[in-house]
Structure 1
Amino acid sequence: MRKRMFVAAAVAALGVGVVAVPEALAAAGPAVLPAGQFTLAADYHRYDELNSALVAKLGTAAVHTVMDNANHDRGAITDSLGVAGYQTGFTFDSGDNSDCASYPQGITTSRDAVGTANGGNYDGHQLVLVSWYTKDGCDGASARSRITLVDWDATYPNKYRKILLVEATGTAAAPNFQDVKVHAGGVSWYGDYLYVADTGHGMRVFDMRKILKTDTGGSAEQIGRQADGSTYYAHNYAYVLPQVGTVTAATTSGTPLAWSSISLDRVSRSIVMNEYTCASGCTDYPNRAPRAVRFPFAAGATTFAAATSASEALQLPWYRLNGVASHNGRWWFNSSGSKQLYYWTPADGAHTYAWVSGGESISYWEDADSADLLWSLQESVGHRNVFAVTQSTYGA
C-alpha cells in the first residue's frame, strides 16, 4: 500500500492545492548527436574474490533486515515548495537536514528496481533510495558516499537507514574495504543492481543482495579492518554496500562525458545520463554545452553487455543540469541554476516549467493504479525535501 498519510496534511500546509498548472513556455530544443560515438565497457566481476572473502568474514543483511533495523525518522514537508502537481513527499531528520558536510544528490526507488508488480516492493518493502556525498568537514574535500533507504509503505514505520558505500581492498586472506569518494550525483536501481554515477568515469555498480554487516562502537573516523583482524569499522555505520563492478565510459567525440546524473528508463530498458556544465565562468565544471546520452541494457538483463554503444545522444541548450529522466520517448531535465524543469520530445518540442531551488536528480515512478509521478529532491541545507509531482503536469 502506498504511503498516503502525509499527503492531505502536506497539501493543506503547503498550499499546493491552489498552485496553478504551469504554463509551458516554448524553448529551444536539443540537437541530435551521433550516438555511436559513446560507448560503455562493463565489468561485473572485478571484486568477486575480495567480496566473497568479506562476506565470509562479515556476513550479509537482506534489505528487509536493514529496514527492520531502520533508526532514523523521516517527517512531513513543511516548506512551501510552490510546485504544480505536488502529490506527496518527506524530509530527513533534523541531523541530516542541517548537516553542512553531507549532501543528498541522486534518487531512485523500488519502482525502478521491480516496476509496478507486487506494489513496487523489493524484498517486501516499497522504498525510496537517495544517494549522498560527505565532505571532510563543512568546507573540505569529498570524503565518502552513502545511500539512504527510506520506507514508503503504510504498513511500515516512517523510518530510514543509512548504508555506507565501500570498495573492497586487501587480499582474499585479509580482505578490507575503503570509502568510495564520488559525488554520487545520480543513482539508478534496476533489478538487484544499483548504478551510481562516477563523474569522470561512468558508473560504479553495487548489488543490493550483498549488504555487509559491520561493527559499530568505533570512532567516526575509523574505516575498514582493524588490527585484531576480525573487527571492521565503517565510520560507525552498521551496514556497508561493497562495489561489485564498473561501467566505464569512452567516446570518440574528443570530449569525455561528465556523468552528473543518471536515471532509469524502464520502457526502453536503458539508463540515461546528463552532464552538468556552465555557459561560461565555471572553474570546477566544463564551460560548454551539455549532453545527454542513452545506454541500453543487454537484452533481457538488468546488466550491461561487456561492450555497449549508446542508442541516443543529444546536445542540450540548457545549463547547470542536476537531473535527468526519460520515459516512453519523453525527456525531463532539471536546472538548479535557473530553477526550471525542461520537458522535450522530438514531436512536441521543448517546454519550460518553474521548478524548485536546489533541485537535484529525478526518478520516474510508474503506477498501475494512479497517475505516474516524477520524484525529485533538494540538497540545500535546512531544506532537504524529497517530493513527487504528477508527471503529466510537466509534459504529455
Structure 2
Amino acid sequence: MDLTPTSELAAEIDALAERYGGRVGLDAVLGDLDRRLRRTVAPCLTPHRAWTWDRVDRADRGWWPQGVSVVGRRGAVSWYARGRGSRVSLLDLGTRRYRHLPLVLPTAGGFEPLRIHAGGLAWHGDLLHVAATRAGLWVCDTRDVVRGPGGYLLPVRYRLRSSEPFRFSFVSHADEGLVVGEYGNTGGTSRLGHLPLGGGPVDVHDGGVRRAQGAVRVAGRWYVTASHGPRTPGSVWSGPTGALREHRWALPMGPEDLAYDESSDLLWTVTEHPHRRWLVAVRRSRFT
C-alpha cells in the first residue's frame, strides 16, 4: 500500500491568513490557553498519571475525544462531533492548560469545518497527521494557525491518499515513521501498518486485535489499545508482529488512540465517554 499526497492548499491557506491578519502559529496558541486540566486518578490496574478536562468538556455529549499525540510537555487531542466537524486541543502539561482549535478546510471563499472522525493524531515537527478513516490522512502545518472569528483556526494543508482500500481509524508517530491501523469488530479487518518517515510503501499486516483503537511500534514491538465499552476497563496488547499478548484492565474504560513519547518512554491514551474522560500516561516497560 502506498500513500500519495494531494495538491497542497497553499493558495487557500494564504488567502485565509490574509483575511484574518496573517498566521500566528503554535506559540501564540500556547501562550493563550484558556481552559484547565485537572490531575486525577483513573480506574485501571496499571500505575499511571492521569488528567481530566474542565467540567464542560468532561460532560459534553456532542464532542468526543479520539486521537492523542504527546511530545515532552506539549500534547494534542483530537475530537469529533457528528455532522459538525472536528477540532484539536493543544495542551501544555506543565501548566495544565489547554485550548480547542477547530480543524478547517480552507476554501476560495474562506473555510468550512473539516468533517472527519479524527480517530488518531501523529505530531512530528511542525506537521500534525489526522486520521480520516476512508479518506486517508489529513496533514496540518502548525505554523499555519490563524486567529479567526471566535478563536484560533488550524487549516489542513493536504491529504495522503491510499493506493488501496484501508480504514485509517488511527495514526501515531513511532519507530521513525507513522503507524496506521483499522478498528474492526465483528466481520471487519483489523490491519496495522508502518510507514517510514522517509517514504516508501506501507508495511501492512493483520493486527489480530478486535476493537483496536490505537497503536504504536517501538523497537519493532507493537502496543495496541482495545476498548470494551463504557463500563469495562480497556486492554493493552503488546508483543512482536503476530504474537501480541493481552493485558486486561490495563487502561480505563473507553481508551482511544495511543501515542508514544520517546523522551519519557511513556505511552499515552485518551478516553472518550462522558464523565469518564481521562488523559492517561503509563510506563511502556509495564507491558512486556
TM-score normalised by L of structure 1:
0.68
1:64 corresponds to 2:11: no
- The answer as to whether partners of 1:258 and 1:275 remain within 8 angstroms in 2 is yes
Matches within 5 A, 1:310-325: 310=202, 312-325=203-216
1:146 corresponds to 2:87: yes
User: Where does residue 139 of structure 1 map in the other structure?
Assistant: none
Q: Please, which of 253, 261, 276 is the counterpart of residue 170 of structure 2?
A: 261
Q: Please, which of 253, 259, 270 is the counterpart of residue 363 of structure 1?
A: 259
Query: In angstroms, what is the RMSD of aligned CA positions?
Result: 1.6
Q: Please, which of 82, 99, 102 is the counterpart of residue 44 of structure 2?
A: 82
Q: Secondary structure at the match of 1:206?
A: strand
Q: Report deviation, 1:211.
A: 0.2
Q: Please list the CA deviations of residues 38-86 of structure 1 after superposition, one character each: whole Å capped at 9, or x if unmatched.
A: 111013x4211111111122122232221221111111124x4223131
- The answer as to whether partners of 1:145 and 1:183 remain within 8 angstroms in 2 is yes
Q: Distance in 2 between matches of 1:288 and 1:162?
A: 33
Amino acid at match of 1:263: S
User: Where does residue 201 of structure 2 map in the other structure?
Assistant: 309
Q: Report deviation, 1:185.
A: 0.2
Q: Report deviation, 1:250.
A: 1.7
Q: Please, which of 173, 177, 182 is the counterpart of residue 111 of structure 2?
A: 177
Q: Report deviation, 1:270.
A: 1.1
Amino acid at match of 1:186: G
1:344 corresponds to 2:239: yes
Amino acid at match of 1:77: T
1:240 corresponds to 2:140: no
1:277 corresponds to 2:277: no
Q: Please list the CA deviations of residues 175-219 of structure 1 after superposition, one character each: whole Å capped at 9, or x if unmatched.
A: 310000000000101111110001002100100011011123xxx
Q: Give percent identity, aligned residues only.
A: 26
1:214 corresponds to 2:121: no
Q: Distance in 2 between matches of 1:97 and 1:197?
A: 23
Amino acid at match of 1:264: H
Q: Distance in 2 between matches of 1:330 and 1:103?
A: 29
- The answer as to whether partners of 1:73 and 1:92 remain within 8 angstroms in 2 is yes
Closer, same or farther: CA 241–195 of 1 in aligned 2, 3 Å: same
Q: Which has the higher strand share?
A: 2
Q: Report deviation, 1:163.
A: 0.5
TM-score normalised by L of structure 2:
0.93
User: Where does residue 225 of structure 1 map in the other structure?
Assistant: none
Runs of 5+ unmatched residues, structure 2: none
Matches within 5 A, 1:376-395: 376-395=269-288
- The answer as to whether partners of 2:89 and 2:99 remain within 8 angstroms in 1 is yes
- The answer as to whether partners of 1:289 and 1:318 remain within 8 angstroms in 2 is no
Q: Report deviation, 1:146.
A: 0.3
User: Where does residue 96 of structure 2 map in the other structure?
Assistant: 158
Q: Please list the CA deviations of residues 206-255 of structure 1 after superposition, one character each: whole Å capped at 9, or x if unmatched.
A: 00011011123xxxxxxxxxxxxxxxxxxxxx00001111100122xxxx
Runs of 5+ unmatched residues, structure 1: 1-37, 112-119, 121-125, 136-141, 217-237, 280-286, 299-303
1:374 corresponds to 2:283: no
